[in-house]
Structure 1
Amino acid sequence: MSKFGQYLNGLLLLLLAGCSSSIPREEKVLAIKEMGALATTQYTVTKIVKASDNQTWYKIGDRKILLSVEANLKAGIDLTQLSEEDITSSGNSIQIKLPPPKILSLQLPPEKIRLEYEEVGLLRSEFSQEERTALLAQAEKQIEAAIPETGILETARSHTRDWITRFCQQLGYTEINIEFADQPTSILR
């Protein structure tokens, strides 16, 4: 589904939530499932990739390259995983168990990839497009490996909790408990 379609679905859901109808509030909450992926956090990460193959004994001259890569990370939750069992309500109280946050997209926009430095010896050829693509794949893997250090998933968890809380408040719920499937269940008292 396109981004415009997701935004349109979100807008329709908010309108649905605000309208008084015979649809139970719990079903309105379950209707957010139609939004699909809910991206609540976006980070921009810069990675520097360098390569040098001057260690090759049979080639004369050095060859070095330095690229800076700017990646866009989007994190949130997959609302399609919600089921009726994940939502319980009684009066003005609701409890929702959401799927764990995850990285929804990692993009390396071509316009954000810059050649910072390149040195090629006189008897050497420049880095080929295939070699540069391999360096970008390496950068993407390094960015993926560093995701836990960025804190993006915890930020997405917090932003998602805030968004769902506001959504439920618009439906008239005053006591809202939101949990995530990857965290231990807390007991309401």
Structure 2
Amino acid sequence: MYLFYLSKTCLLILLIALLLFASACRQKEKERDLPATILAIQQTGKLATAEYTLTKIIRASDDQTWYKIGDRKILMHCEAHLKAGIDLQQVSRNNFEVEGDSLITVTLPHAQLFSIAIPPNKIQVAYQDIGLLRDPFSAAEREQLLAQAEQQIRKLATSLGILQTAETNAVTYIQHLLQQVGYKHVSVIFE
């Protein structure tokens, strides 16, 4: 959690510095400012523009085989934090097309899922039924169930709309940034 707040603070400081730099460097010739603007955008790195929090239900039961007597079932739920955004390190001069004094078109890479975090304190066992002659679920088995849940969440992320939200928020960020530099019309497309 500390790393999350640290990265968020660094991103905020970088954003403020970038905006101050962009405001201070206004000149009439936009083409000359473009390399510095591109460098500032690249140095932003991975721009996380969307964060979702999900609750995932995890259930499992052992298959009964001839040598296992009794059932073993578990029902857990956990909270997962998803972060998505744009990797601005992939942006180069070729991604910017300037037309006239006030129009710029930016081509960005599509949004991607940066991280899925499941805090240990947000994992709870809601139900557990262990047969008399069976061992409880081990820590390794629970970790394996959580890994499966993470894979299911990763597959589900696209249908949740987090990537679309990340792209929409990235457009707003890039448009605002380039308008601060002096471009009146900013068009952002994704490839």
TM-score (norm 2): 0.88
2:84 aligned residue:
75
Where in structure 1 do 4 or more consecutive aligned residues deviate above 6 Å?
A: none
The SS at the match of 1:146 is helix
1:93 aligned residue:
103
1: CA distance between counterparts of 2:146 and 2:66? 26
Identity level (%)? 43
- Say whether residues 1:36 and 2:41 are aligned partners: no
- Say whether residues 1:14 and 2:22 are aligned partners: no
How many pairs does the alignment contain? 181
RMSD (Å), alpha carbons:
1.8
2: CA distance between counterparts of 1:28 and 1:174? 18
1:52-63 alignment runs, 5 A limit? 52-63=61-72
Letter in 2 for 1:67: M
**Deviation string, structure 1 residues 2-26 (Cα, Å, up to 9, x no partner):** 6133332222111101114568332
Out of 32, 35, 52, which is 1:27 matched to? 35
2:59 aligned residue:
50
- Say whether residues 1:117 and 2:123 are aligned partners: no
Letter in 1 for 2:71: D
- Say whether residues 1:150 and 2:152 are aligned partners: no
Please state which structure has a larger fraction of its residues in helix. Answer: 2
2: CA distance between counterparts of 1:35 and 1:148? 24
Unpaired runs of 5+ in structure 1? 182-189
Out of 93, 103, 106, which is 2:113 matched to? 103
1: CA distance between counterparts of 2:37 and 2:66? 65
| 2:26–2:182 Cα contact (<8 Å) kept | no
Unpaired runs of 5+ in structure 2? none
Worse overlay, 113-122 or 32-41: 113-122
| 2:26–2:181 Cα contact (<8 Å) kept | no
The SS at the match of 2:136 is coil
TM-score (norm 1): 0.89
The SS at the match of 2:74 is strand
2: CA distance between counterparts of 1:149 and 1:15? 37
Letter in 1 for 2:165: T
Letter in 2 for 1:58: Y
